[in-house]
Amino acid sequence: MTIYESLGLKKVINASGKMTALGASAVKKEVAEYMAQAAQEYVEIDSLIDKAGEIIASYTGAEDACVTLGAAAGIAISVAACITKGNLKLIEQLPNSEGMPNEIIIQKGHSVNFGAPIVQMVSLGGGKPIEVGQANKTEPFHIEGAINDKTAALLFIKSHHTVQKGMVSFQAMADIAHRNNLPLIVDAAAEEDIKKYYQEGADLVIYSGGKAIGGPTSGFICGEKELISWCKKQYKGIGRAMKASKESIMGLLKAIELYVSEDNHAIALENKKKMEKLAQSLADLKNINISIKQDEAGREIYRAEIKINEKAANITAYDVIEKLKCGNPSIYVRDHYANLGIISIDPRNLKENDDEIIASRLHEILGGKTNA
Ligand SMILES: *Cc1c(COP(=O)(O)O)cnc(C)c1O
């Protein structure tokens, strides 16, 4: 029995990926033990923040890093840093940024919802989001044309949530930022590569500790030294409402240490095999087509994509998703393409035998209704 079941809550099988609504990541035992120790001792928090920043920076190749409560907090804090530039009087005035250069330029196709709106996190940091271009088309002139002396930073979102086509590339946006002497903030919350964006010209790069890295609820911003010092200073201002706890900072450090030492390519291939096995065990279901698909944002994640022939099966993908959720254990699958009759199974958070439970539930739901 899980600790949550002891409260009368349902057991969850998470085949949907790193979803905040399900607790993001279940940390490894080593991480949990590290956190438990950290929670039972005192430490000078400012020194811990500095030390954690140093350690994280060494993994990312950036000059320094600032730990955060998560990537959403990372956006607010990065924006606040670019607006207030370390000035404590201004830091205390936020989120009211009247009179300061506070405009944050973002492509319209990047103004997405990750569980909450990206632009709301910008506002929380005192930024005024300036959305440029159209939802499906933004060009460099849209960005250049919006830059003025009230501009504080450019913000680029690297995520499967954004529009993938017709947007200005990361590289082009970095060039525009630097030609105009502006910092480029990148939200790479769920990305697996914790070096790439800083290396390729971003000034501040934001990651979630609870997603690819598999840590507890946490996050960090890595980047250029002075900008990072301005980020840390936000803990005397808006950052206080989103502070990272000592135990989650320590959990993040252990999780990153394990993450960078693992062979993530081998793990991805092993997960892919697990999905191929699941596909085989569902091959007898007549009204579905199964294929193994790589992540739409290009990350090394292979998911089993199940296309339901809704007419023949006499059930919609939405209904299948609902039935999976309502059972016990409750099974959560990815529903991003349910409107197209597609559900997909993400292998990353599955525990031993979860794939068999999923296959058996899908047989119960879809099995009896073949049109053979
Ligand atoms: C998940 C996500 C966030 C928020 O991350 P948290 O660590 O949960 O705060 C922000 N931006 C994007 C693109 C995300 O996918």
Q: How confident is the model at residue 370 (pLDDT cuts 50, 70, 90)?
A: very low
Does the C-beta of 208 come closer than 6 Å to ligand 1? yes
Does the C-beta of 119 come closer than 6 Å to ligand 1? no
Does the C-beta of 187 come closer than 6 Å to ligand 1? yes
Torsions phi, psi for 151 (to 5 deg): -75, 130
Q: What percentage of residues in the chain have a pLDDT greater than 90? A: 93
Q: How far is the CA of 250 from the centre of ligand 1 (A)?
A: 20
- Rounded CA separation 135/148 (Å): 22
Contact between residue 219 and residue 78 where contact means Cβ atoms under 8 Å apart? no
Torsions phi, psi for 314 (to 5 deg): 60, 35
Catalogue the long-range contacts made by 309-318 (C-beta closer than 8 Å, 24 or more residues apart).
Answer: 309/341, 310/341, 312/286, 312/287, 312/370, 312/371, 313/287, 313/288, 313/366, 313/369, 313/370, 314/369, 315/365, 315/366, 315/369, 316/341, 317/341, 317/342, 317/343
Q: How far is the CA of 117 from the centre of ligand 1 (A)?
A: 10
Mean pLDDT of the chain: 95
Q: Which helix (H) or strand (E) holds 173?
A: helix 170-179
Does the C-beta of 114 come closer than 6 Å to ligand 1? yes
Please give the pLDDT value at position 371. Answer: 41
Amino acid at 77: I
Task: Give the residue from 359, 308, 294 showing the smallest Cα distance to 337.
Answer: 308
Atom of ligand 1 nearest to the CA of 217: 7
Does the C-beta of 189 come closer than 6 Å to ligand 1? yes
Does the C-beta of 186 come closer than 6 Å to ligand 1? no
Q: How far is the CA of 44 from the centre of ligand 1 (A)?
A: 28
Summarize pLDDT for 276-308 with one digit per residue, the tens: 999 999 999 999 999 999 998 888 999 999 999
- For β-strands 204-208 and 219-223, DSSP reports them as antiparallel
Q: Which helix (H) or strand (E) holds 172?
A: helix 170-179
Please give the pLDDT value at position 202. Answer: 98
Give, in degrees to the nearest 5, the angle at Cα 353 between 351 and 356.
125
Does the C-beta of 159 come closer than 6 Å to ligand 1? yes
Q: How far is the CA of 359 from the centre of ligand 1 (A)?
A: 30
- Give, as one character, the DSSP assignment of residue 339: G
Atom of ligand 1 nearest to the CA of 219: 7
Q: How far is the CA of 216 from the centre of ligand 1 (A)?
A: 13
Atom of ligand 1 nearest to the CA of 208: 7
Please give the pLDDT value at position 298. Answer: 86
Please give the pLDDT value at position 368. Answer: 56
Q: How far is the CA of 72 from the centre of ligand 1 (A)?
A: 5
- The residue contributing the CA closest to ligand 1 atom 11 is 189
Torsions phi, psi for 110 (to 5 deg): -100, -5
Token pair belonging to 62: 């950036």
**Which residues contact residue 83 at a Cβ distance below 8 angstroms, ignoring those fewer than 6 apart?**
90, 94, 97, 100, 101, 102, 125, 126, 127, 152
Does the C-beta of 18 come closer than 6 Å to ligand 1? no
Give the residue carrying structure tokens 């044309």: 145
Catalogue the long-range contacts made by 20-28 (C-beta closer than 8 Å, 24 or more residues apart).
Answer: 20/115, 20/210, 21/115, 22/332, 24/208, 24/210, 24/211, 24/217, 25/210, 25/211, 25/213, 25/214, 25/215, 25/216, 25/349, 26/349, 27/214, 27/215, 27/216, 27/251, 27/255, 28/214, 28/255, 28/258
Q: How far is the CA of 38 from the centre of ligand 1 (A)?
A: 25
Summarize pLDDT for 215-231 with one digit per residue, the tens: 999 999 999 999 999 99
Summarize pLDDT for 167-181 with one digit per residue, the tens: 999 999 999 999 999
Q: How far is the CA of 271 from the centre of ligand 1 (A)?
A: 23
Please give the pLDDT value at position 18. Answer: 84
Q: What percentage of residues in the chain have a pLDDT greater than 70? A: 99
Summarize pLDDT for 245-275 with one digit per residue, the tens: 999 999 999 999 999 999 989 999 999 999 9
Does the C-beta of 191 come closer than 6 Å to ligand 1? no
Q: How far is the CA of 76 from the centre of ligand 1 (A)?
A: 12
Q: How far is the CA of 171 from the centre of ligand 1 (A)?
A: 22
Please give the pLDDT value at position 19. Answer: 86
Helix locations, 314-353, DSSP H: 317-326
Summarize pLDDT for 146-159 with one digit per residue, the tens: 999 999 999 999 99
Longest dimension (CA), the chain: 73
pTM summary value? 0.92
Atom of ligand 1 nearest to the CA of 74: 9
**3-state secondary structure (DSSP) of residue 288:** strand
Token pair belonging to 317: 């993908």
